[in-house]
Amino acid sequence: MNPQTLIDLAMQLDRLESLPRMGYLMRGIAHPESVAAHVFGVAVWSMLLADELGGVDPLKVLRLALLHELGEVKLTDIPKIAEEYLPLGAKDAAETKIAAELLSGLEVRGEEYLRLFTEYQEARTREARLVHAADKLQMMAKVLRYQQNGATGVDGFWNHAPNFRDFDLPEVREIFAELRRRRPVVATGSPAEP
C-alpha cells in the first residue's frame, strides 16, 4: 500500500462532488445533483436491484457502480446533446484512458478496477447490465423528483427512449412503468406521453 497514491486518487475523485450533471444544468435546473451524488444514487439502486433480483455478485455490482463515472474526473460530465458531436466511441475511449491513468498507481487492485470499468462500458455481464439499468433508473427517478419540485425543463427526458432501456431485465421495465405512473400531471391535465 502506498498512502500517497491512495490520497492522490481520493483527491482526484473528490472533484466529482463539485461537478454538476450537465444535462440537468442545460435544462434549467439551477442546482443539479453532482456526479458524486449520481454515483451514490446508482450505487443504491444497484444494491437494491442486486438484492431483489439475485443471480449477481453484490460486491462486484457495487464496485461497478462506484467506478462507472471514473472517467468524468478529467473528462467532466458530457451531456448526450454534446456527445452526438463526438466521433463514435471517442467518449468511451477517453474515459478508459483516464481510468487507466487514475488507477495505474494502485498496487493491489488497480488492474482489477480497470477491468471492472471496462466491463461496465461493454455491458456484457449481468452485473454490468444491472448497473447500467440502475444508472437509467437513478436518472429518471431524479427527473421525477425535479418535476415534483416544480422543474419544467426536463420533460424531454421522458420522450427519449434510451432513457428507459431495461438491459434485458424485465423487473426494470416494471420500475420504469411505476416511475411513468408517478410522473406529475402537466398543464393539459394528463401526463405527457413518454
| 91-115 tens-digit pLDDT | 999 999 999 999 999 988 999 999 9
- Distance from the Cα of residue 153 to its chain's centroid: 20
Instruction: Name the DSSP class of 157.
Output: G
Cell of 96: 478508459
Whole-number Å distance between alpha carbons of 88 and 141: 28
Residue 36 has pLDDT above 60, yes or no: yes
Instruction: Specify the pTM.
Output: 0.92
- Examine the pLDDT at 56 and tell me if it is beyond 60: yes
Q: Is the pLDDT of residue 79 over 50?
A: yes
Share of the chain above pLDDT 90, in %: 89
The pLDDT of residue 107: 85
Report d(CA 105, CA 70) in Å as an integer.
15
Q: Structurally, what CATH architecture does the domain formed by 3-181 represent?
A: Orthogonal Bundle (1.10)
Instruction: Check pLDDT > 50 for residue 189.
Output: no
At residue 34, the 3 state secondary structure works out as strand
CB neighbours of 157 closer than 8 A, spacing ≥ 6?
139, 140, 143, 163
Please list, in sequence order, all residues whose beta carbon lies within 8 angstroms of the beta carbon of residue 5, skipping any fewer than 6 positions away: 105, 106, 107
pLDDT category at 81 given cuts 50, 70, 90 is confident
Grouping H, G, I as helix, E, B as strand and the rest as coil, residue 88 is coil
Cell of 14: 473528490
pLDDT confidence of residue 186: 58
pLDDT at 185: 72
Q: Where are the domains of the chain?
A: 3-181
Phi/psi for 20 (5° steps) reads: -75, 155
Of the pLDDT bands very low, low, confident and very high (cuts 50, 70, 90), residue 187 is very low
